[in-house]
Amino acid sequence: MQPSLPRLAMFGLLSLMLLALPSAPAQAGGILWCKSDPVVSLNGRLVDITAALPLEYVLFVTGPTQIEIQTPPGVERFVVISDLGFNGHGTEVTFVDGGGVVEDGEIPTRIRVTVPIHLDRDEQVPMEVTVWADDEFPLTVSGTHRRTVMQLSITSR
């Protein structure tokens, strides 16, 4: 027995509606997280840097997410794509020269992320930063909105 045309149409409509739904924030440990994630290139290697805040604090973000990426001088580095950030404030990526040298294609990298948040009380808002370089496993560190720092080595292409 073949499905009727109204059933096929309903199935198609339902499928389209599911595809059109916005993706839900990530959830870990009972916390709903909202994310901002620009992609940069370091010596041709695509690197996704994701800053995540608990959803309950996102409305208190007052400016762009600040990401400082420190690599040795001479590393080719640029922003591939930036997102809207939290509440549409955007993301500002700054590249600075740092210590170390590129050896055997390994780029010593320091990433510092801050998010301006205004609260009536002096509170440290938890933040997670995840870095994913192409096909490598992601690396996540925890910190606060005032300063989350990650030290890692990224392999050049």
pLDDT, tens digit (0-9, with 9 covering 90-100), for 32-77 = 999 999 999 999 999 999 999 999 999 999 999 999 999 999 999 9
Cβ count near 83 (within 10 Å): 15
Residue 83 placed within a domain: yes
Q: Report d(CA 118, CA 90) in Å as an integer.
A: 16
- Tokens 């955007």 found at: 90
Structure-model confidence comparison of residues 29 and 151, the more confident one: 151
Residue 3 placed within a domain: no
Residue 147 placed within a domain: yes
Residue 45 placed within a domain: yes
- Percentage of the chain beyond pLDDT 90 is 71
Render pLDDT for 124-141 as a digit per residue (tens, 0 to 9): 999 999 999 977 889 999
Residue 70 placed within a domain: yes
Residue 5 placed within a domain: no
Residue 6 placed within a domain: no
Full domain range(s) for residue 47: 25-155
Domain count, the chain: 1
Mean pLDDT across the chain: 84
